[in-house]
Structure 1
Amino acid sequence: MIAGLKVKIEHQRASGLLQQLDIHVWKWDEISMDFVTGLPQTQRRHDAIWVVVDR
């Protein structure tokens, strides 16, 4: 958790109307995966995360 993070609302643009999401019949039918590297090291010396998105 990031402590002390403040959002400056005046710099955000309006997101527009809400759009309904498509609901797939089968879970995990279409996935995307990627590694995010170069993050600050944790106490256990980890500096990357594996991101998996079910679209």
Structure 2
Amino acid sequence: MANTPTTTMRLDPELKDQAMRILEPLGLNMTGAVTIFLKAVVRENGLPFEVKNKEN
């Protein structure tokens, strides 16, 4: 991946740890998971899941 930019994210440490415990057995690191998510955003032209208002 030539010319791949570095991106910094601020995450809650506990959320990151919980996610990594799930991702590691799947053979994924945070970069892989974020890449999958962003490719899904592009493919779906929006979030790859439904977003609902809690009030409805």
Higher RCO (C-alpha under 8 Å, 6+ residues apart): 1
TM range (shorter): under 0.3
- TM-score of the pair, normalised by structure 1: 0.24
* Higher-Rg member (1/2): 1
Structure 1 or 2: larger strand share? Answer: 1
Structure 1 or 2: larger helix share? Answer: 2
- TM-score of the pair, normalised by structure 2: 0.24
